[in-house]
């Protein structure tokens, strides 16, 4: 009952104010929210992540206080990391970060689609660069939750030099991350998704895993995961999985945003007709679950399920499909931080009951 009250209070009171702030510009709200969370970080930092009985998980060698994480994209430059554990998250993924600083796409580049519970973004990996993130993480120090770092390709780097670009980011950030996500599936960097082609992906992953082993020295290398697109066919996804297994990655994140516009309410479809960008939120939910189920049926790699989780029942469906962990982003925008604890509670109760 308490989680329903928390969700409802956000939806009826807080969200309408946020959606009107800054003239209704979503990116202004996003930036302001991160600024305040960053300012409140020292106050919120001592609050432990929500971890009721049955919540803790150990996945790819990392202990997570609960299985609900913040997806990449919310805090690209790590400006508010100490605050997210207090919101209930069991882990946080920062980025996507690129080797070269880049401004991203021209604004406006973020569109809310409330009738569909969706968000359209064409941010284009706007971030201050891997070296700047490393400096910030050094200043922040250890966090209460595991930290994932999402790595992407700089827009100015040709596809043929992508390996060098990813490696440069991994080297400067390796000491700070608990795991690394290789983002080869964003639709907003030209040519990036071609890195999901088997030969290119094999070359990239082999280089990153070799570098991780080198940077680890005598210790076990930190986990490297691959984030896949929901728009791959089963055949293409199967090829990606073959490469992941052959190269020895630790897991798969499924999924990134979609180029499909299926599932949008009529008014939202009209509003974004002809607009570029990746769609997240409710319309992605069914496909994301399908991809997670396909992966878990075709390989033994752990899966982080992300896409369209706007209710605890959505998190349940991801877990039922085989996801070991789940991530939120759009759901946080539409349902507020109460969703985090509600999802943790639901997944913890299911585990306690052996479901």
pLDDT of residue 238: 95
**Confidence grade of residue 1 (pLDDT, cut at 50, 70, 90):** very low
Euclidean distance between CA atoms 52 and 211, whole angstroms:
37
Cα(73)–Cα(96) distance, rounded to whole angstroms?
Answer: 6
Residue 192 DSSP symbol: G
SS3 44: helix
Q: Tell me if residue 330 falls in helix, strand or coil.
A: helix
Q: How confident is the model at residue 5 (pLDDT cuts 50, 70, 90)?
A: very low
d(CA 258, CA 119): 11
More confident residue, 169 or 24: 169
What pLDDT does residue 196 have? 87
pLDDT at residue 3 greater than cutoff 80: no
Q: Does residue 292 register a pLDDT over 90?
A: yes
pLDDT tens digits, residue range 168-218?
Answer: 999 999 999 999 999 988 887 888 888 889 899 999 999 999 999 999 999
pLDDT for the residue 232: 92
pLDDT at residue 192, as a whole number: 83
Would you say 45 and 82 are in contact if contact means Cβ atoms under 8 Å apart? yes
For 52, half-sphere exposure in the C-beta direction (CA atoms, 13 angstrom radius) is: 15
The CA distance from 257 to 266, in Å, is 20
Confidence of residue 302 (pLDDT cuts 50, 70, 90): very high
Mean pLDDT of the chain: 93
Instruction: Provide the pLDDT for residue 147.
Output: 98
For residue 33, pLDDT over 80 is answered with: yes
CA 69-307-90 angle, to 5 degrees, is 5
For residue 97, pLDDT beyond 60: yes
Pick the catalytic residue from 105, 150, 186, 280.
Answer: 186
Inter-CA distances, 45 with 37, 84, 91, Å: 10, 8, 14
pLDDT, residue 19, reads: 84
Reported as a single tens digit per residue, the pLDDT across 37-75 is: 999 998 999 999 999 999 999 999 999 999 999 999 999
Residue whose tokens read 């996507």:
96
> Is 330 in the active site?
no
Residues with Cβ within 8 Å of residue 103, at least 6 apart in sequence: 126
State the pLDDT confidence band at 2, using cuts at 50, 70 and 90. Answer: very low
Longest CA span, the chain: 57
Q: How far is CA 46 from CA 66, 70, 145, in A?
A: 17, 18, 12
Domain chopping of the chain, boundaries = 2-352
Q: Say if CB 148 and CB 64 are below 8 A apart.
A: no
CATH, domain range 2-352: 3.20.20.70
Residues 6+ apart with CB under 8 A from 56: 63, 64, 65, 66
Asked whether the beta carbons of 64 and 91 are under 8 A apart, the reply is: yes
Please tell me the distance from the alpha carbon of residue 273 to that of residue 111, in angstroms, as a whole number. 12
């Amino acid at each position: 009952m308490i989680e329903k009250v928390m969700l409802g209070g956000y939806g009826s009171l807080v969200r309408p104010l946020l959606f009107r702030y800054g003239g209704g510009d979503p990116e202004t709200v996003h930036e302001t929210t991160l600024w305040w969370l960053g300012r409140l970080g020292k106050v919120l930092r001592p609050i432990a992540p929500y971890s009721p009985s049955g919540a803790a998980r150990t996945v790819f060698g990392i202990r997570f206080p609960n299985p609900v994480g913040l997806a990449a994209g919310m805090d690209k430059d790590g400006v508010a990391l100490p605050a997210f554990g207090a919101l209930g998250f069991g882990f946080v993924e920062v980025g996507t970060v690129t080797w070269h600083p880049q401004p991203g796409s021209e604004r406006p580049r973020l569109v809310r689609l409330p009738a569909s519970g969706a968000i359209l973004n064409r941010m284009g990996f706007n971030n201050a660069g891997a070296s700047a993130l490393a400096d910030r993480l050094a200043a922040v120090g250890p966090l209460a939750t595991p930290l994932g770092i999402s790595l992407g390709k700089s827009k100015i780097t040709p596809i043929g030099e992508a390996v060098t670009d990813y490696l440069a980011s991994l080297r400067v950030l390796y000491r700070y991350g608990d795991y690394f996500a290789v983002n080869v599936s964003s639709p907003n960097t030209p040519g990036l998704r071609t890195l999901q082609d088997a030969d290119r992906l094999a070359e990239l992953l082999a280089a990153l895993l070799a570098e991780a082993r080198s940077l680890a020295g005598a210790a076990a290398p930190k986990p490297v995961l691959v984030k896949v697109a929901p728009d791959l066919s089963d055949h293409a996804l199967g090829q990606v999985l073959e490469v992941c297994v052959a190269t020895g990655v630790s897991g798969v994140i499924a999924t990134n945003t979609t180029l499909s516009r299926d599932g949008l309410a009529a008014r939202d479809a009209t509003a974004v007709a002809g607009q570029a960008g990746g769609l997240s939120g409710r319309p992605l939910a069914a496909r994301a679950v399908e991809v997670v189920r396909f992966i878990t049926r075709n390989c033994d790699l752990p899966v982080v399920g992300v896409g369209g989780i706007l209710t605890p029942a959505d998190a349940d469906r991801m877990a039922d499909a085989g996801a070991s962990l789940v991530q939120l982003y759009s759901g946080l925008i539409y349902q507020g931080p109460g969703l985090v604890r509600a999802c943790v509670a639901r997944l913890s109760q299911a585990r306690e009951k052996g479901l």
